[in-house]
Structure 1
Amino acid sequence: MTAARLITPGALGALIASRCEPGAVTVIGLTGSVAAGKSTLATELAAALAPRLRVEVVQTDGFLLPNDELESRGLMLRKGYPETYDIAALSVTLEAARVRPVRIPGYSHALYDVDPALARTIDRPDLVLVEGLGFAPAGGDSSVAQSLDSLVYLDATEEDLEHWFVERFMALWRAAEQDPSSFYAQFRTMGETQARGFARTVVWRRINLPNLQEHIVRARPLADILLHKSRDHSLRLVRPDIPAWG
């Protein structure tokens, strides 16, 4: 096996395009830890593929249970764990997207909740790129993974993931100063140092890191395409082992 090699979003897009069947709707999942950069990569891939394929990006966050329901079930502090998703709705939607228009729910990171105003309809694109969590088998249910034609896993070290998570939290914390409706406005009573510590020690190490270690990473061995992302955001292709680019 050759060493993992650098890959650009454009080259990755070409690899993904090679897995698409002309005339059919291809469904590809993109997963990895919270803060790995899945949304950014999905946007870059959609742009790279746009000249040749009609692509719709779907976030699994839209299939999270609403906050009211999570609160009633005592699950708010486990948001992002398998039991906080409507897995049945996600798998049914992905299957239906192959044959008819489907309504896709939307999620607001600022509100930290499903947002009906962000829902949209997609109508049989060439490629449905589904990014987010919820692909790892949980409780014997692998229906979401089975709804995919291919799975991409975006890997990174835990140290880098923690760094990116804290920086993302702080960006939302800063933005909340001008947006009192933001979920992150409640943390504005904290100073910057306290908020950064809260993001690292409470949210990341007690919630998101255990979710990664116990659940999310279980999708990694299932991935058809395995990527490793470095601190400088460069990507390396780990699997499949391709000796050279044409």
Structure 2
Amino acid sequence: MTPVSPADLAARIATHRCPGETLVVGITGSVAVGKTTLARQIAEALPAGLKVEIVSTDGFLKPNAVLEAAGLSMRKGFPESYDRAAMAAALAGLKHGAVKVPAYSHTSYDVDPAAARTITGADVVLVEGLGLAPDAAGQRPPLDLLIYIDADEDDIIAWFLARFMGLWDAAASDPSSFYARFRHMSEGEARQFALSVWNGINRPNWLEHIALARLVADIVVVKALDHSLSA
């Protein structure tokens, strides 16, 4: 494996650009593997003259009320929890004109209609999140490039627990936070609960669905515990 940096990835992405066209690049991998961070780092490393937008696939999750009515509340992040038709239409539309993309609130953990935005005239759109794995027919969403972030499970668990506990801790002074509902737990109980979420929800989703994107990715990077990348 050869060390790579976000700047290396940005340079590789830039070589695929065609002037006057929008390049749509997906970035996916397990929950907590660092998709949002890598998208931001790549955006910052792309040439300054380019108009770059970042879109999270979280906005294409079905609203909580819809998921609850369908008995899918505990399947959020799984393929059936996304409006895949809307996401495919939006990704394809980015190459042809203005597209309104939905947004997601990580405070309410629900789609936030008020935060939707319109993207037009972008040179590069980085689409980060879940829902980018191929479907049952082996077809991935309409992307020009797909980057898959791989990592050892022990490292992903460490990142997931650190993120969960950080949000749990912050919720002590933010009753509006989704994580406020877990504040009745002790620190040890919260950590055990987070681990149960990983084992019961995120791990099966990763192994059964998300990891399939690795097979159709154009670029696979491996992330180490210290967040360094190699390819």
Q: Same fold (TM over 0.5)?
A: yes
Question: Is contact 2:132–2:141 with CA below 8 Å preserved after alignment?
Answer: no
In structure 2, the partner of 1:220 is 214
The match for 1:208 is 202
Alpha-carbon contact 2:148-2:220 (below 8 Å) kept? yes
Q: Distance in 1 between matches of 2:141 and 2:189?
A: 43
Structure 2, unpaired ranges of 5+: none
Cα offset for 1:109?
A: 1.7
2:19 & 2:47 partners in 1: Cα distance? 15
Q: Is the Cα contact below 8 Å between 2:32 and 2:160 reproduced in 1?
A: yes
Aligned CA distance change for structure 1 residues 119 and 141 (closer, same or farther; 3 Å):
farther
RMSD over aligned Cα atoms = 1.1
Residue number in structure 2 paired with 1:61:
58
Match of 1:133 in 2: 130
Q: Which residue in the other structure is 1:240 paired with?
A: none
Q: Which amino acid aligns with 1:62?
A: G
Distance 1:153 1:160 in 2: 16
CA distance in 1, matches of 2:171, 2:177: 6
Unaligned runs of 5+ in 1: 238-246
The alignment's TM-score, normalised by the length of structure 1, stands at: 0.91
Which piece of structure 1 moves more, 133-142 or 55-64?
133-142
1:160-199 mapped onto 2 (5 Å cutoff): 160-199=155-194
Secondary structure in 2 matching 1:159: helix
Q: Check whether the contact 2:151–2:222 (CA below 8 A) recurs between aligned residues.
A: yes
SS of the residue aligned with 1:14?
helix
1:43-192 matches, within 5 Å, as: 43-140=40-137, 142=139, 145-192=140-187
Aligned partners of 2:3, 2:181: CA distance in 1, in Å?
41
Q: Secondary structure at the match of 2:148?
A: strand
Following superposition, the deviation at residue 124 of structure 1 comes to 2.3
Q: Which amino acid aligns with 1:236?
A: S
Cα distance in 2 for residues equivalent to 1:141 and 1:88: 16
Q: Counterpart of 2:34 in structure 1: which amino acid?
A: G
Identity in percent: 53
